[in-house]
Chain A
């Protein structure tokens, strides 16, 4: 398939499904029908060329398929006999209502588990096939199929509907969508994603979907903030791994390899959001990423500003990782000894006690303070307890470097 047909289909996917649900109701059957229409188009269009009205073509084929699915439902057969047999509708019978936002909200309904929200969003809004989602997450196709069908059952059982929630519920519902998109992004933000053939690029997909949401909610500062955060983070991708897959921490990355257009776009987005919208955690994280992006070298990083942003983030959305990152920023401004005291303070949070990131940060601070033996121990402890393989390799390498040389300066903590 040429990329353009694929892109077109993926963009049309939520519109086709939205039109179908609007016309017939019954999200689960419509979703299956829309998937089959997309599949048919993916096979036919590259061979036969695009139809005059691709959206109308998909809606017609999906409607026909939905009618077939509906007919085979024996429980409904009798009722159907009493009704006129539904003829497939003419192409483009519906106003071009954009249902993408309602679809996002339904797929990320609070009644669903996180993994189900992710799978359903990628399929129903993203237009990905079950097989593609399975390959992206390295799980069997049957697992993804089960997650999607369970999600649809739950939607039906919970009485969730395909319509916009009342305005007072909207911020909370949008926040769930953002969390799902962020989950997709972090899953894709892996060292291995570039090399695994046939793996859908989840990072790119998350950005595409967040961009779609941003088009629908241009004034929502947190949607804008998340899009900016993704763009600014993903911009570092070319520099964050070596060809052998080893990780390069932020401070040691070759910044000339960062994706400049993505940084420009991310910075423009976050600047607008901060000036016009109510502030929120994604915006602050994006602002921090923007400060990093603005520094021509690691030494030029404006750590005062980053510390200020983390302090603000800590006050509106406190969390263990925020405290920890704030300690790192504190070290850059006030030195490692002061930060070690703050780290001991932060470690009283049960969520951080014994956490591998605490060990890693302590190792870096001890390293900066020149306490090589203690630093080496902490690096090794962090390496043993991390759940990330590339991080483990990096920490082990740091432990060796500390042991081998007293002059090798450490990075600033690896993460921003």
Chain B
């Protein structure tokens, strides 16, 4: 089963980030790198990326066959996606275990969502 581990950024997590020392911030980044390396080593990592600031996002829509883009985010968006891990592992429990190793879980909460599965129908 594949699981997406989502790391959100929200006012609370940003406030916590402000209070961290340089050393703690360094450990934070290193924690993510170590987690990615460990998951690659165990063969559980599908892909993991951090995302740039949402002010660099573009919103895309197609109207009358024309592609329209506009810049984001919208002013009221307080929470945005900051990064993710797509893992394939044995169980939901294991995915939670992996999520618990994301440094963000120490300060806020990390979201784990099972990926929709096409394989279990009609057996």
Contacts and interface: CB of A to CB of B under 8 A. Distances in A.
Interface of A: 113-116, 119, 137, 139-140, 142-144, 146-148, 150, 186-192, 233, 236, 240, 247, 249-250, 387-392, 414-416
A186 B120 contact: yes
Contacts of B42: 146, 150
Contacts, number: 79
Nearest to B94: A113
Contact of A247 (B41, B43, B89, B122): B122
Closest 6 CB pairs between A and B? A147-B43, A146-B43, A190-B118, A389-B116, A387-B117, A190-B119
B46 A388 contact: no
A143 B45 contact: yes
Contacts of B114: 387
Given A140-B47, A144-B43, A146-B43, A392 B88 contact: no
A392 B117 CA distance: 10
B40 interface: yes
B115 to A, nearest CB: 8
Interface residues of B, number: 21
Contacts of A388: 116-121
B43 A415 contact: no
Given A114-B90, A387-B116, A236 B43 contact: no
Contact of A389 (B44, B45, B118): B118
Given A414-B122, A415-B122, A115 B43 contact: yes
Contacts of B121: 189-191, 240, 247, 388, 390-391, 415
A240 B122 contact: yes
Contacts of B46: 139-140, 143
A115 B89 CA distance: 7
Nearest to A414: B122
Nearest to A187: B119
A250 B122 contact: yes
Given A115-B88, A387-B114, A146 B119 contact: no
B43 A189 contact: no
Contact of B41 (A150, A233, A240): A150
Interface string B102-123: 0000000000001111111111
A249 B122 contact: yes
B122 A146 contact: no
Report which residue of A116, A144, A247, A387 has the largest number of chain B beta carbons within 10 angstroms of its beta carbon. A387
A146 B123 CA distance: 30
Contacts of B119: 186-190, 388
A143 B43 contact: yes
A47 B114 CA distance: 46
Report which residue of B44, B89, B120, B122 has the largest number of chain A beta carbons within 10 angstroms of its beta carbon. B122
Given A189-B121, A414-B122, 13 more contacts: A113-B90, A139-B88, A142-B40, A143-B45, A146-B41, A189-B122, A233-B122, A240-B121, A387-B116, A387-B117, A387-B120, A388-B121, A389-B116
